[in-house]
Structure 1
Amino acid sequence: MSVTRFDAEARQGLKMVSPPLIYAVLMLAAPLMTILAYSFFRDGYLEVVREFTLDNYRTVIADPVFHKIMLRSLLVAMLVTLATVVLAFPVAYFLSFMVRQERKSMWLFLITIPFWTSYLIRVFLWKAILAENGVVNSVLLQLHIISEPLSNLLFNVQAMVITLAHAYAPFAILPIYVALEKIDRSLLEAGRDLGESRLMTFWRVTLPLAMPGVVAATLIVFIPTIGDYVTPELIGGGKVPMVANMVQANMLPLDNKPMGSALAITAMLIVAAISLVFILLNRRFLKVRQ
């Protein structure tokens, strides 16, 4: 009877899991496998020649333009991640330790308000804010701080970092907040009872215990940022292309889908390797701290 009951429960569980599993396979795995397959094909005139080759990857590895754009993408993603996490941690700390319990839901609600609008709209808003006739220049002119509009606020790395940091801020705040909420407050009280200052208690107790949230926030921001296409195109004005723009150029204007696929797969592998190294270093850091 127990075996029969186990089989029935297993079948019931399989029925519950099957719809989302099928959806995930169709929506995620299938496109990824298609891109992987295309990366091993050759490009013909207005068609894809389905013959196995490694030439696409050889070209990508030897291409100095790809090296330059990939390094720029990594630099921008790291700057955005650093700025976002550094700014998100105080907000999450304030929510967890300073805000009263009955008001935390309201603050979390306010943090999610940016999600009410499209990501594209938010990028356009930053373009309007940083433009020569935008909000920043208008305010500076009215305050007589500048005599003519600044022309270097847009179409550079700094503008991209500001826009992306704002766009991904909620993604960094929420996991850090969850990690801080899980910390046993008695541990902090014990540290202060032993004579530790608030700063040392934060450094030795709060920060290590919050590191899972920090790591999650770092990966959540870093991985999508490095593959962002909209912000470099609009805020960068096409002057600061990143790897996603290079993939798009090969996929559509140049109509070289095998090369675009090889670029995408190579970039994914690089990001996966960096993320794995970061996770391993973080684990080692936590073991040393313990």
Structure 2
Amino acid sequence: MSTIVARQPLPKSRSSTGFRLAMLLPGGLVTFFLILFALGLVLFLAFRGNDGSLLGAGFTFANFITVASDPLYWTVTLRSLAIAGLVTLATVVTAYPVAYYLAFYAGRRRGLLLFLVTLPFWTSYLLRVFAWKIVLAYNGVLNSALVESGIWSEPILAFLNTPAAVVVTLAHAYAPFAILPIYVALDTIPKSLLEAASDLGARPFTSFRRVVLPNSMPGVLAAALVVFVPTVGDYVTPALVGGPASTMIGSLIQAQFGKANDWPFGAALAVAVMLVILAVVLVVRSADRRFGSRT
């Protein structure tokens, strides 16, 4: 009678282990020095007093007490959250139809259209912001078109240096970041589900509402998170196309590290904003798990 001998797993050689460690080393160093070390330094500075030196002096909670007690920072933080929320909503709402077309109707043109979606990455972010500044300016493209068409008799100042200008500019800048995650989520939906819904008598809108939309929600939530997190702390766009009513928390943080030369307080502001964003991320993660359990 023949016997069956269990095959023992081959021991890992030292060379393969060393190769894996060598492959992980560059990414690990980048993660440590550019992310963890930087965050640790910001957290360290947040508990230091400002004596004019680079790393501050002493250990204090005064910076966080000021952030929590001064209504100015609460107002600007809430305004930043509101603007980032509007940007996220506008970006996701406009990106979803584009991603839907790419996933279901683009066909052979999908590669070309995806290339066009990523084309804005080939230009500078500042260049795109300045382009919107030219469009929305007093003598810009939009005002000139409205005056030439006879809708208005003279240019108006209602476009530039407003929160709406910041929302439009940021929504355009982050549109590719929303289109791609939603497209990936839509593209992974099995076509057999849509065919089964059609065979069961579901109309196109019902099929979209009961099949496509629930299965694409993880991509929608990922897109919302990718757009919301960086826009909360953005300070370049409000400085170029926004006015005093569009000041965001990123502008105040940049001012503390720049003109005010108060790095500890700027670090405390940054940590406070990170905690607020972390709370939003946790809410989105819980929503992602909820929708993910339905798919």
Q: Specify the TM-score bucket, using the shorter chain as the normaliser.
A: over 0.9
Q: Describe the superposition over 1:235-274 as per-residue Cα deviations: whole angstroms up to 9, x where unpaired.
A: 1144421010010111111111111000001001100111
In structure 2, what is the equivalent of residue 148 of structure 1?
Answer: 154
The answer (yes or no) to whether the contact 1:81–1:221 under 8 Å persists in 2 is yes
The answer (yes or no) to whether the contact 1:180–1:210 under 8 Å persists in 2 is yes
In structure 2, what is the equivalent of residue 23 of structure 1?
Answer: 30
Distance across 2 between alignment mates of 1:263 and 1:283: 30
The answer (yes or no) to whether the contact 1:227–1:244 under 8 Å persists in 2 is yes
SS of the residue 2:50 aligns to: strand
Q: Describe the superposition over 1:48-77 as per-residue Cα deviations: whole angstroms up to 9, x where unpaired.
A: 532111111111111100100000000000
Moved more, 276-285 or 71-80: 276-285
Q: Describe the superposition over 1:204-245 as per-residue Cα deviations: whole angstroms up to 9, x where unpaired.
A: 111111111111101000000101111111111444210100
Q: Describe the superposition over 1:108-130 as per-residue Cα deviations: whole angstroms up to 9, x where unpaired.
A: 01111111110011001100100
Q: In structure 1, what residue type is equivalent to 2:121?
A: F
The answer (yes or no) to whether the contact 2:81–2:232 under 8 Å persists in 1 is yes
In structure 2, what is the equivalent of residue 256 of structure 1?
Answer: 262
In structure 2, what is the equivalent of residue 165 of structure 1?
Answer: 171
Distance across 2 between alignment mates of 1:203 and 1:40: 50
Q: After TM superposition, list the pairs within 5 Å mapping 1:80-99 onto structure 2.
A: 80-99=87-106
SS of the residue 1:175 aligns to: helix
Distance across 2 between alignment mates of 1:122 and 1:75: 23
Name the % identity.
47
Q: Is 2:73 the counterpart of 1:63?
A: no
* TM score, norm. by length of structure 2: 0.93
Moved more, 15-24 or 234-243: 234-243
* TM score, norm. by length of structure 1: 0.95
C-alpha RMSD over aligned residues: 1.6
Q: In structure 1, what residue type is equivalent to 2:137?
A: A
Q: After TM superposition, list the pairs within 5 Å mapping 1:99-118 onto structure 2.
A: 99-100=106-107, 102-118=108-124
SS of the residue 1:283 aligns to: helix
Distance across 2 between alignment mates of 1:220 and 1:255: 31
Q: Is 2:219 the counterpart of 1:228?
A: no
SS of the residue 2:246 aligns to: coil
Q: Of the candidates 209, 213, 216, which is equivalent to residue 210 of structure 1?
A: 216
Distance across 1 between alignment mates of 2:14 and 2:195: 50
Q: Is 2:288 the counterpart of 1:282?
A: yes
Q: Is 2:132 the counterpart of 1:126?
A: yes
Which consecutive unaligned segments of at least 5 residues does structure 2 have? 1-7
The answer (yes or no) to whether the contact 1:130–1:136 under 8 Å persists in 2 is yes
SS of the residue 1:122 aligns to: helix
In structure 2, what is the equivalent of residue 247 of structure 1?
Answer: 253
The answer (yes or no) to whether the contact 1:248–1:260 under 8 Å persists in 2 is yes
Which consecutive unaligned segments of at least 5 residues does structure 1 have? none
Distance across 1 between alignment mates of 2:80 and 2:149: 36
Q: Which consecutive segments of 4 or more residues in structure 1 shift more than 3 A?
A: 1-4, 45-49
Change in 2 beyond 3 A, CA 1:281/1:134: same
Distance across 1 between alignment mates of 2:146 and 2:174: 27
Q: In structure 2, what residue type is equivalent to 1:27?
A: L
In structure 2, what is the equivalent of residue 11 of structure 1?
Answer: 18
The answer (yes or no) to whether the contact 1:93–1:180 under 8 Å persists in 2 is yes
Q: How many residues align?
A: 288
Cα deviation, residue 25, structure 1: 1.3
In structure 1, what is the equivalent of residue 181 of structure 2?
Answer: 175
The answer (yes or no) to whether the contact 1:46–1:255 under 8 Å persists in 2 is no
SS of the residue 1:147 aligns to: coil
Q: In terms of Rg, which structure is larger?
A: 2
The answer (yes or no) to whether the contact 2:45–2:56 under 8 Å persists in 1 is no
In structure 1, what is the equivalent of residue 50 of structure 2?
Answer: 43
Change in 2 beyond 3 A, CA 1:284/1:149: same
